[in-house]
Structure 1
């Protein structure tokens, strides 16, 4: 009887751990994509900027943590971004580049040297 209880408890612990692992690994990219899309939509409303695509580079922490410890951490904190790539139709203009750099620097609290602004290929994204 004791072996059966131990087996059931072990199965439940493995299932719960697997569930939490799947929840945490799937939610981060979706959140990043949402932030990228929201930032791109907002930046494209600035006069002269035109169509915009945004890529955020998030900091990845390469330390050993258990799955359960990452679950119990405060997940309400925003991820820490270490760089941004912005491709914009209006980035040919130095004034637009400056406006984009200033805006993104303030919104994401990143230094300007971590923000790359490039002009979009004529004809937009494919």
Structure 2
């Protein structure tokens, strides 16, 4: 039966049918390719990535600034600058709404799942994702540049303070004298 169909399709008098089928196939492929370029990334995915990136960077800069403020209060430290390196960055987990649809048709059970990010309106009329959890960045190394780092007692106090605040071992903390 399959062979009969193919023989009839490829006989010389069915040339127009073959041309129409080929044109339909090419149009379908072109539409699929165009949809990838036109659609782009979903807006909610872009919003989630932007929030996660800015939240992470903000948390990292805020941690450095807070550490500078605290360490500059150590007796003899003077002006202090801090640079942190991170093993992991800050991450935010957005709230998601999941819709599950089940349908029974023609002896086939199909289940479709759709997951969307829950968005909230902010004060300026824009939308941002609802954040469920945020994890702090994990500090891997600390560089402290201080005016008073020439004094070994001040260096020891700065090192102990950084160890206590950041849960970083002493061998991952470098303290240098500011010029």
Q: By the TM > 0.5 criterion, same fold?
A: yes
Please give the root-mean-square deviation of Cα atoms over the aligned residues, in Å: 2.2
Alignment of 1:55-94 (within 5 A): 55-60=83-88, 71-72=93-94, 75-94=133-152
Paired residues, what number? Answer: 103
Alignment of 1:3-42 (within 5 A): 14-42=42-70
Q: Greater helix share, 1 or 2?
A: 1
C-alpha separation in 2, matches of 1:60 and 1:108: 14
Larger Rg computed on CA atoms? 2
Which structure has more relative contact order (CA 8 Å, sep 6+)? It is 1
Q: Greater strand share, 1 or 2?
A: 2
- Equivalent residue, structure 2, for 1:104: 162
- Equivalent residue, structure 2, for 1:116: 174
Deviation at 1:30, TM superposition (A): 1.4
Does the 8 A contact of 1:20 with 1:71 survive in 2?
no
Contiguous gaps of at least 5 residues in structure 1: 1-6, 62-69, 122-126
C-alpha separation in 2, matches of 1:74 and 1:91: 42
C-alpha separation in 1, matches of 2:174 and 2:57: 21
Does the 8 A contact of 2:59 with 2:136 survive in 1?
no
C-alpha separation in 2, matches of 1:74 and 1:97: 40
Contiguous gaps of at least 5 residues in structure 2: 1-34, 95-130
Deviation at 1:59, TM superposition (A): 1.2
